[in-house]
Amino acid sequence: MKLHEYQAKQIFAQNGIKIPKGKLAKSVEEVEAIVREFGKAVLKSQVLVGGRGKAGGIKLVNSVDEAVEKAKELFGKEIKGHLVEKIYVEEQLDIDREMYVGFTLDRANKGIAAIVSSIGGMNIEEIAAKHPDKIARKTINPKWGLWDYQIRELLYESNMPKEYFKEVFGIIKKLYNVMIKYEAELTEINPLVVTKDGEVIAADARLNIDDNALYRHKDLAELKDYTEIDQLERIAEQKGLNYVKLDGNIGVIANGAGMSMATMDLIYLEGGKPANFLDIGGGASAELVKEAMSIILQDKNVKVIFINIFGGITRCDQVAEGLIKALSEMKVGIPIVLRLAGTNEEEGRKMIEEFLKQTKEEIVLVETMEEGAKKAVELAR
């Protein structure tokens, strides 16, 4: 779960990291009132996507009139497909220098990667590519935690100017504590700013929490912004289905994450385009199959549905039952390609064959997933 900047900053502040003065606005009027109080300000669109600044989501304003004009522009604007509904209004900082501090899960080394750079403001991959002498990276073993010598190494190796050592040292330590305490997958301050007055302040904030740990962080779980998630993906999540919307026209239902991806890939190899990833999981009930059908049918691009089931724990007769239920209760109106293999395959196929005698819906039974993908692509043309 990604937190918005204003939410992450609150958490940073609670953990002793300095943040600029700021307030959240949900309307032009609110922006106006805050800028009246602050004087000069920065309007920052609260959308959960990187590169907001470059995409025009961040505006410097020097007067109330300018703030009103820019706020009108920003509210309702789409930034990389994300609608701006909230603006975080902050005081302007007199920036002397920009730096970077971040922590992220280190899959390859089974630990937590600490990354520090003595320059900041651009994305970290770019810093690494262009200024390898100004960036340092270490893996922290979570068993032992972060030690002071590691912080010193990060500072020396990133060529951090001596005068900022003490301040940045403290921030690295505090940000690591945030990473651990809130069970984050990633947290970063980019840029970490030194102002002309010599203050070190988190000018931006990223904090992504592990979804699997949210049960231990109920206060954070409440911050989840569902307006940021695709509507169909949101409905699917509530039904316990793994669904990701894509832009093709062949709907996919399969059991297992790897199997669902393999099904999408097969469609692509046959020259078609999958409309989605949908994994009904192991041991799916007839009811869940029905829900899966209803979600896919809400995607108006879908011209064919390819259901690819390999029954292990999942029983093919259950899948057939769910499908028949779905087809009896709603009008599908597009062809379905069905592949049932494994546990209770014969029963499942028989049920479908019986059902086909009394319905106008089109179901094409195939033997293998390769054949099914081919058929689905043909029918989508």
Partner 1 sequence: MAIIIDENTKAVVQGITGYQGSFHTERMLSYGTKIVAGVTPGKAGMEVHGVPVFNTVRDAVEETNANASVIFVPAAFAADAVFEAVDAGIKTIVCITEGIPVHDELKMYWKVKDSNVTLIGPNCPGIISPNKSHLGIMPPQIFMEGNVGIVSRSGTLTYQIAYNLTKLGIGQSTVLGIGGDRIIGSDFIDILERFEKDKETDLVVLIGEIGGTDEEKAAEFIKDMSKPVVGYIAGITAPPGKRMGHAGAIIEGGMGTAESKIKALNEVGVEVGKTPMEVAEIVKKKLKR
- Interacting residue ranges for partner 1, rule: CB under 8 A: 105, 107-108, 110-112, 125, 141-143, 180, 183, 185, 210, 212-213, 215-216, 242, 244, 246, 254-262, 264-269, 274, 277, 279, 282, 310-313, 341-343, 368-370
- Number of helices (H) and strands (E), helices first, in the chain? 13, 18
| DSSP 8-state code for residue 133 | G
Can you give the C-alpha Rg of the chain in angstroms?
26
Q: Determine which one of 5, 6, 88, 100 is catalytic.
A: 100
Residue 79 or 160: the one with the smaller Cβ distance to partner 1 is: 79
- Residue 367 bears catalytic tag: no
Minimum CB separation of residue 88 from partner 1 in Å reads 23
- Residue 268 bears catalytic tag: no
Residue 125 or 197: the one with the smaller Cβ distance to partner 1 is: 125
Residue 180 or 365: the one with the smaller Cβ distance to partner 1 is: 180
Minimum CB separation of residue 104 from partner 1 in Å reads 9
Tokens of 113: 């990667």
Residue 147 or 156: the one with the smaller Cβ distance to partner 1 is: 147
Strand 58-61 relative to strand 41-45: parallel, antiparallel, unpaired?
Answer: antiparallel
Q: Please name every residue paired with 206 in a beta bridge, in sequence order, or none if there are none.
A: 188
Minimum CB separation of residue 346 from partner 1 in Å reads 14
Minimum CB separation of residue 269 from partner 1 in Å reads 6
Q: CA–CA separation, 54 vs 66, rounded Å?
A: 20
Tokens of 323: 């499908």
Residue 34 or 319: the one with the smaller Cβ distance to partner 1 is: 319
Cα–Cα distances (Å) from 308 to 224, 316, 367, 369, 372, in that order, read 33, 10, 10, 7, 8
Contact 186, 103 (CB under 8 A): yes
Q: CA–CA separation, 266 vs 260, rounded Å?
A: 10
Minimum CB separation of residue 105 from partner 1 in Å reads 6
Q: Determine which one of 90, 185, 188, 321 is catalytic.
A: 188
Tokens of 101: 């501090």
By annotation, the residues acting in catalysis are 100, 188
